């Protein structure tokens, strides 16, 4: 899990850089960065979500469904 946290820190820096100069990245690079940020955020939320909520809401909550898939 330390790797997940470290990657999250790195992504925050990359996202802040992209926000400061959004034209520095190609459209494809921006999409890849946003997808990676979503994947890491999902992993962090999965790690921090109570297990009961993860399973109870997986059918109705889109975020829970994504994090449930990431947990598997």
> For the segment 7-19, what is each residue's pLDDT rounded down to a tens digit?
999 999 999 999 9
The pLDDT of residue 52 is 66
Share the mean pLDDT of the chain.
Answer: 82
Cα gap 24→68, rounded to integer Å: 34
The pLDDT of residue 54 is 55
pTM: 0.65
pLDDT band at 49 (very low <50, low <70, confident <90, very high): confident
Exposed/middle/buried for 8, CB within 10 Å: 0-12, 13-18, 19+? middle
């Amino acid at each position: 899990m330390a790797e997940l946290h470290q990657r999250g820190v790195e992504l925050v820096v990359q996202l802040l850089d992209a926000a400061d100069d959004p034209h520095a990245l190609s459209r494809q690079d921006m999409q890849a960065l946003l997808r990676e940020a979503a994947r890491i955020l999902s992993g962090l939320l999965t790690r921090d979500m109570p297990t009961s909520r993860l399973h109870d809401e997986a059918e109705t909550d889109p975020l829970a469904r994504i994090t449930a898939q990431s947990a598997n």
